[in-house]
Amino acid sequence: MTRAGRKRPAGLAELGISLDLAPMEAKLVTELPTDAGWQFEPKWDGFRCLAFRAGGDVEIRAKSGKSLSRFFPEVLDNLGAVAPKAFVLDGELVIPVDGALSFDALQMRLHPAESRIVRLSNETPATFTVFDCLLRKVRQPLLQEPFEERRVALETLFKGIDEEEAGLTITPFTRDRRQAEKWLNDRQVSVDGVIAKRLDLPYLTGERAMLKVKRLRTADCVVGGFRYETERKQVGSLLLGLYDKEGLLHHVGFTSALADTEKPALTKRLEKLVAPPGFTGNAPGGPSRWSTARSADWQPLRSKLVVEVRYDHVTGNRFRHGTRLVRWRPDKAPAQCTFEQLS
């Protein structure tokens, strides 16, 4: 198999499962289920995908249905090198960097230049972490089998495979809710959350039939600026900052979870603190993939206010999504709001 010029593999049509199969998804909940009959697995921060193999033909499909094969040639080669000749697997593409999973490294792969993709596949190879087996014999799908049996099929498929050497890994699990709670609360464990799957559940393609609890964390941030609402001069969002080791305040995200009843008084309070520069490091409106048409429309503040916010993901020293305001922290000195909180 070559890494260049791959075409859609024709032999995969013989598997008996459509390449356009929509993965089963998870519904977001706030707590793990307490009744019996559940398996708990880490929720990985990567690209969800399905992997198909029939003989020498291999394909990787994203949750959207688009092919990821050309962007992860090393994973395609790894899947084609293992002993089993036919399978359909559900899993997650992840790239470990310096002991943690890097979502940025994954996104860098989605690039039109094949030379860059090949270089990155050697410098930061991706691992396919597998958590479900949908087929391991041609024309014998396991979609209607209970998850407990599909897990046995997955472990049987992986029997004899050196996971580290193969560049593939089977996800760990527990059926002990207390252990799953530890995964959520242990800051030293690099997981994005926990997925809960019923042991008797068939594979319900495209449905949110599993449960997921995200690992939410909090951080104290300096309010380095704010934006007005689009159509009126009232605060719409707070711009958040953290200090680096050199003492520079970098823009790391925003929170717009502000109560309407509090906005008039908060706007007056913020306007009294308006003064440049607001951020002394990376500032809103700088060139980045987060920039929008309104990025430059913000008011800088003196570094006086601190808020505690709840967040889920950090990517490239930024909160990947909007955060939720937990509380104001008048007891906290702005200088104490550093990146070290995110480690």
The residue out of 164, 198, 214 marking a domain boundary is: 214
- DSSP characters for 158-222? HTT--HHHHTEEEPP-BS-HHHHHHHHH-TTS--SEEEEEETT----TTSEEEEEEE--EEEEEE
Is 232 in contact with 322 (CB distance < 8 Å)?
no
Q: Are residues 132 and 193 in the same domain?
A: yes
Q: pLDDT above 70 covers what percent of the chain?
A: 92
> In total, how many domains does the chain have?
2
The residue out of 214, 247, 269 marking a domain boundary is: 214
Q: How many Cα atoms occupy the beta-carbon half-sphere of 319 within 13 Å? A: 25
Marked catalytic residue, from 7, 27, 43, 304: 43
Q: Are residues 164 and 87 in the same domain?
A: yes
Could you tell me the CATH number of the domain that includes residue 279?
A: 2.40.50.140
Could you tell me the CATH number of the domain that includes residue 125?
A: 3.30.470.30
In a domain, 4, yes or no: no
Instruction: State how far the Cα of 75 lies from the Cα of 124, in Å rounded to an integer.
Output: 12
In a domain, 97, yes or no: yes
Q: Are residues 152 and 117 in the same domain?
A: yes
In a domain, 248, yes or no: yes
Q: Are residues 198 and 337 in the same domain?
A: no
Q: What is the mean pLDDT of residues 97-102?
A: 85
Q: Give the DSSP H/E element, type plus range, for residue 46.
A: none
Q: Are residues 155 and 61 in the same domain?
A: yes
Is 257 in contact with 251 (CB distance < 8 Å)?
no
3-class SS of residue 73: helix
Q: Are residues 164 and 101 in the same domain?
A: yes
Domain of 266 in residue numbering reads as 217-342
Instruction: State how far the Cα of 132 lies from the Cα of 129, in Å rounded to an integer.
Output: 10
Instruction: Read off the pLDDT of residues 198-225 as tens digits, 9 standing for 90 and up.
Output: 999 999 999 999 999 988 788 999 999 9
In a domain, 29, yes or no: yes
Instruction: State how far the Cα of 215 lies from the Cα of 218, in Å rounded to an integer.
Output: 10
Q: Are residues 81 and 150 in the same domain?
A: yes
pLDDT-derived band at 6, boundaries 50, 70, 90: very low
Verify whether residue 43 is a known catalytic residue.
yes
Q: Are residues 75 and 175 in the same domain?
A: yes
